[in-house]
Structure 1
Amino acid sequence: MARYETVLDTIGNTPIIKLQKLAPEGVNVYCKVESFNPMGSVKDRMALAIIEKAEQTGTLRPGQTVIESTSGNTGIGLAMVCAQKGYPLVITMSESSSVERRKLMRFLGARVVLTPASEKGSGMLKKAIELAELHGYFLCRQFDNDANPDVHTRTTAAEILADFAGEKIDYFVSGFGTGGTLLGISRRLKQADKTTKIVAVEPDNSQMLASGIAQARDPSGNISASHPNFRPHLMQGWAPDFISSLIERAQSEQLIDEIAAVSGSEAMNLARQLAQKEGIFVGTSAGATLAGALIIAKRSAPGTNIVCMLPDTGERYLSTPLFDDISTDMNEEELALSRSTASCRFDVSSTPSKPAVKAAPVAIDEEARKFVEATVANHSVVLFALEWCEFCWSARKLFNRLDIPFKSIDIDSVAFQKNDQGRKIREVLAHHTGAVTIPQIYIGGKHIGGCTDLFDAVVDGSAEKLLREAGIAPKNADGVNPYEFLPKWLQPRSMTV
């Protein structure tokens, strides 16, 4: 292990892993696993390269806002780079991209402007150009920027060649989005050995390169329309609705020897097989690239060396069809395992029944009693809570959604640890309400109950009545189902246990 000055120094030097189970007998299929980059994708390399080149040339000023259009991985890489270097970042992204990508970018400090799915990749690019021109932002132009392929020539390809020193690379297989990875690596590999074959992979229902139809552009060279062969497909980050200038360069330089077409179903199948048979966790686009590599492998002689790019991690795809068949509930086999031993089961209680024992009375602390009563009297909505309890967070989320001001008394927080105040307050609440659980909620001085009691009161209208009597009018209430704020593991089960 090494010591690094910043997270940016950890980009690159990703491993090449040989497949042991999915490749045909005797054929060597190697994967360049780019999820080992700090933000989990190959785009980390390009994000840093574009920003550093702009700094060196002076086209990016200190503190200037950076903007780019992306399906997610470039934006996540840029969010990391901009966070470390101190640049504000705006991302334009089609609403059809997975929600976890939006959240990751926003978590890293970026602003994400969504564009209609009907406008496709060219729509999010158009929006980025408009915003850059209006607000004076630095536009990365990943689909045209020379820094994109150059970083792959300098780093990614160099790493591959170093890992195969003294050995022949027969095929290099990659999908394409911007085209920077394919162009940059192909240039260096071809320079090292002209006999290395470059295979570009694209969706079988959206074959733009294989069509031979040129991309429509205006006199300034900008994309003027979607490519006529584009169709929606499953591979996020792959094959937008246009052919980028970087891919056009790869074609004009005659770097691409073959084009392989793969289906979305095969891409998902191989992404799952990579996880379950090789232990390599990747997304749909990586599964698609491997599908292209296996097309080559199945017709290749023993001893052939094939290298393919696995561009990102499977965590980018949790809300996509890739995970549709992955349940959060136990299946029948898992339920059978659960029932095979006596304890910790959902279908029976694992605690033997005992005769009820009347608890000894607890002496109520007078100071704690006065605190609880004063808090309830002085605040229209009071939540006696635990700081990180999921039920307490669910109640807070509902109040925030309805724009209801509330006082949260977090009895396990540092503020209430002195003289064991939190425990004393809890004993007062149990004495007043007869309930030992937390949270306990009051509206207009009236005890409502716990989290689900609050949700029931919202549904039957009694909570709104109490709120209005206390002078509070809930907002944004239309269409709100309070039970959606419960933790996912408490949502209604899809099967009976």
Structure 2
Amino acid sequence: MKPIHDSILSTIGNTPVIRLNALAPDGVELFVKVESFNPGGSVKDRLALGIIEAAERDGTLKPGQTVIEATSGNTGIGLALVCAAKGYPLVVTMAESFSVERRKLLRMLGAKVVLTPASEKGTGMLAKAAELAETHSWFLARQFENEAGPDFHSATTAKEIVTNFADAPLDYFVTGFGTGGTLKGIARVLKATSPSTKVIAAEPDNSPLLGSGIAQGYQADGSPSASHPAFRPHPMQGWSPDFIPKLAGDVISAGHIDAIQPVSGDDAIRCARDLARKEGLLVGITAGATLAAAIAVARTAPKGARILAMLPDTGERYLSTPLFEGISEEMSEDEKAIASSTPRFRFDAAPSTPAPAAAPVAASTAAVAHVDAIVADKAQPVVLFAMEWCEFCWSVHRLFAKAGIAYRTVNLDGPDYRDADWAADVRRAVGERSGAPTIPQIFIAARHLGGATETFDACNDGTLAALLTEIDQNADTDSLGNAYGFLPKWLHPRGAAAAPKPAPDQAA
């Protein structure tokens, strides 16, 4: 390694392969390639550098030209790093559902972030990026179909892996897919140089795009023609968008995938936490998902098999996601006990005069009137107050759509509530009227039904059907079965019928 680098860009690549000890199942050797060692914290630094330098070579990217791309975060961060080092302005489009840490990192690196509605999914942010590129003559990176991405992986990542395992064959290579660039670039090299290595593609079990067997349609430029029908929202940010990218489709067509391994959201989060606590590797949810897939492979692998799993990114950009749920900023009881075990600097003594609790902020008269008018509208008597990116809200949407219930959605993070103060004020008014601080909240003919779980219960016990009959709606709730089946599969992997009633609704 050179002791002094000419720029941050020469530090991209050459990431370590690490043997797992505490988490490796008996009888196999389990390794991970830790891509968080890239300067931008993820494998996407490689793709970003490959795309930009290829475009410079062929002249499609002009000096000083603005670069634009649709991204869930990591590709954008990689592009922001590369563009900052090379002097290109960068604009990214990103669905609102991705973690706020990613937006802040992008802006810290000088990029501009244009948010698109979560309801439009990945295809929505792609369409916005293409529209902006055409309007302003910007360079569109096209990570989902740009061959420069897999070419860079073939030239770097794949060669690193081949070198790492030159002493003994690699039996299994396990990775998820986002753009498909990592999968394509590595798989084709392994199939050429180590044909006995089995390539395992992992994907969310509730969103089995590859496993569905349903072909993805493409436009002439290689971009998806429509959202894939098997897509469902899942917690693996950066994995499996709502379409099969052309690059991933190429791997399928080439026959380079030996097996597809589904992974539940619960297993992904559990394995990411295990990597941090038992192996000292702070990684993201997709890394946990890849490890979960590798462990599943290990259960049926021959004794002595060598398995490599890709860990795509760092865990630090998941602070606001379920990965860090339950990890408090305050001291736990155990930590307080430790603090109290020595005489100095104790934190368990109550102040002599407790500070008065802050009075709750009441909703304004305007916000209360706004909510009252919506709930009292006889033309739209069924009202769902929701957040566009909330899993529980999506569950109620699916239930209402399946039953044929006519309703009005009020998305408190939608375009009508872009003003954060007004959105918070209206949400307080909804909470005051419903008696619950969480979202979603459902009203029928000005009567508060409850949140998602109360709505599921009302559907199951016939209350919902009775209320709809009172307002002359002939919805079909009888054929729905257990309403809890509309929850995302990753919340109840054993199935709704066997699952206990979930905790009270969450405002994500």
TM-score scaled by structure 2? 0.69
Amino acid at match of 1:236: Q
Residue correspondence of structure 1 range 418-433 to structure 2 within 5 A: none
Say if 2:5 is the partner of 1:15.
Answer: no
| Separation in structure 2 between the aligned mates of residue 306 and residue 477 of structure 1, nearest angstrom | 51
Write the distance in 2 (CA, Å) between the matches of 1:295 and 1:478. Answer: 48
Provide the rounded CA distance (Å) in 2 between the counterparts of 1:326 and 1:23: 25
Find the counterpart in structure 1 of residue 281 from structure 2: 280
Report the Cα offset of residue 199 of structure 1. 0.2
Contact preservation (8 Å) 1:115, 1:124: yes
CA contact (8 A) 1:66 1:88 kept: yes
1:338 Cα deviation from its structure 2 partner: 1.6
State the distance in 1 between where 2:60 and 2:93 align.
Answer: 20
Q: 1:189 to 1:218 in 2, by over 3 A?
A: closer
Contact kept in structure 1, 2:287 and 2:311, CA below 8 Å = yes
User: Which residue pairs with 2:177 in the alignment?
Assistant: 176
- Partners of 1:316 and 1:195 lie apart in 2 by 36
Residue 303 of structure 1 corresponds to: 304
| Residue 127 of structure 2 is aligned to residue 126 of structure 1 | yes
- Name the aligned partner's letter for residue 302 of structure 1: K
Secondary structure in 1 matching 2:260: strand
Secondary structure, aligned partner of 1:200: strand
The answer as to whether partners of 2:144 and 2:223 remain within 8 angstroms in 1 is no
Residue 158 of structure 1 aligns to a residue in which SS?
helix
Gaps of 5+ in 1: 352-451, 460-474, 482-497
For the residues of structure 2 that align with 1:178 and 1:316, how far apart are their CA atoms? 19
Paired with 2:51 and 2:216, the residues of 1 have a C-alpha distance of: 24
**1:27 corresponds to which residue?**
28
What is the aligned partner in structure 1 of residue 227 from structure 2? 226
CA distance 1:165–1:102, change in 2 (3 Å):
same
Q: How does 1:374-453 map to 2 (within 5 A)?
A: none
Task: Report SS of the residue matched to 2:307.
Answer: strand
Counterparts of 1:96-135 in structure 2 under 5 Å? 96-135=97-136
Aligned-pair distance for 1:166? Answer: 2.6
Please give the alpha-carbon distance, in whole angstroms, between the structure 2 residues aligned to 1:174 and 1:144: 18
* SS in structure 2 of the partner of residue 29 of structure 1: strand
Which residue number in structure 2 is paired with residue 337 of structure 1? 338
- 1:190 maps to what in 2? 191
Which residue identity lines up with residue 191 of structure 1 in the other structure?
A
Contact 1:177 1:237 in 2 (8 A): yes
* Structure 2 counterpart SS, 1:202: strand
Q: Deviations over 1:389-416 (max 9, x none)?
A: xxxxxxxxxxxxxxxxxxxxxxxxxxxx
Q: C-alpha root-mean-square deviation of aligned residues, in Å?
A: 2.4
Report the alpha carbon displacement of residue 255 of structure 1 after superposing the two structures with TM.
0.3
- Residue of structure 1 equivalent to 2:349: 348
The one-letter code of the counterpart of 2:230 is N
> CA separation in 2, counterparts of 1:298 and 1:329?
39
Change (3 A) 1:476 1:152: closer
Q: 1:71 to 1:476 in 2, by over 3 A?
A: closer
- 1:116 Cα deviation from its structure 2 partner: 0.4
C-alpha distance in structure 1 between counterparts of 2:207 and 2:100, whole Å: 24
2:268 is equivalent to residue 267 of structure 1: yes
Query: 1:123 corresponds to which letter in structure 2?
Result: G
For the residues of structure 1 that align with 2:180 and 2:66, how far apart are their CA atoms? Answer: 25
Number of the residue aligned with 2:322: 321
Residue 480 of structure 1: how far off its partner (Å): 8.4
Offset at residue 347 of structure 1 (A) = 2.8
Secondary structure in structure 1 of the residue aligned to 2:143: coil
| Structure having the higher Rg | 1
1:133-186 CA-partner distances (Å, limit 9, x unpaired): 000000000000000101111000100111111310100000000000001000
- 1:7–1:38: 8 Å Cα contact kept in structure 2? yes
Superposed displacement of residue 25, structure 1:
1.4
- Equivalent in the alignment of 1:48: 49
Cα distance in 1 for partners of 2:221, 2:25 equals 48
| Alignment partners' CA distance in 2, 1:53 and 1:477 | 45
Residue 253 of structure 1 corresponds to 254
1:194 offset after TM fit, Å? 1.1
For 1:349 and 1:115, how far apart are their aligned partners in 2?
47
Q: Indicate the SS of the match to 1:160.
A: helix
Compute the displacement of 1:80 (Å): 0.4
Distance 1:36 1:297, change over 3 A: same
Cα distance change, pair 480–95 in 1 and its aligned pair in 2 (3 A): closer
In 2, Cα distance between equivalents of 1:76 and 1:86 = 15
Give per-residue Cα distances to partners, 1:231-251, cap 9 Å, x unaligned.
Answer: 000000000000010011001
Q: What CA distance in whole angstroms lies between the structure 1 residues aligned with 2:176 and 2:330?
A: 34
Kept in 1, the 8 Å contact 2:35–2:312? The answer is: yes
Whether contact under 8 Å (1:92, 1:125) holds in the other structure is: yes
Give the whole-Å Cα distance in 2 for the aligned partners of 1:480 and 1:196. 54
Verify the 8 A CA contact 1:343 1:350 in the aligned structure 2.
no
Q: Does the CA-based 8 Å contact 2:66-2:89 persist in structure 1?
A: yes
- In 2, distance between residues paired with 1:125 and 1:144? 12
Find the counterpart in structure 2 of residue 363 from structure 1: none
Give the superposition deviation at 1:191.
0.6
- Report the counterpart of residue 166 of structure 2 in structure 1: 165
